Amino acid sequence: MDVARTALDRSAQEIEEALTVGARVVIAPRDQVTIGPALVDVIERSGATVMQTTPATLRLLLAAGWKGNRSLGVITGGEGLPAALAREILPRVKELWNVYGPTETTVWSSFRRVVESDLGRPTVSIGTGIRDTALYVLDSSLEP
């Protein structure tokens, strides 16, 4: 099951992926995804096993006292994932993935499963490019 927000470009991917494997999609009202305790309640009541969200929403959950769910896979993107936040989330969930690229490729350009060895850096790596995607780090002159 996936907790999805339909206002974002990635919602099409979230919904299609869930439905193609026979999962149920939970689309919560806006007031339930922007208020920490309400979102905690949605996650717990729904029995979600996958959640795609932003680091800001993970902070919202932690501030609301969310204890986590060891059956929940979390995919996070949309902004950098600080290692300090990943350290708090990783032991609370089944697995944590950091993804990158919605603006550049409309959904994902790269991904990485977050592991303990990632947590010694200030931010978690955006990982490697998905199939048929090349990643380049450019300077301010757009040179490699």
Tell me if the pTM is above 0.75.
yes
Query: In this structure, how many other beta carbons lie within 10 angstroms of the beta carbon of residue 43?
Result: 23
pLDDT given at position 90:
96
pLDDT given at position 26:
83
pLDDT given at position 1:
41
Taking the chain (144 residues) in runs of 10, the rounded mean pLDDT of each run is: 50 77 83 91 92 93 96 92 95 94 71 89 85 84 92
Strand-pair partners of 123: 82
pLDDT given at position 4:
45
What are the two backbone dihedrals, phi and then psi, of residue 141, each rounded to the nearest 5 degrees?
A: -95, 10
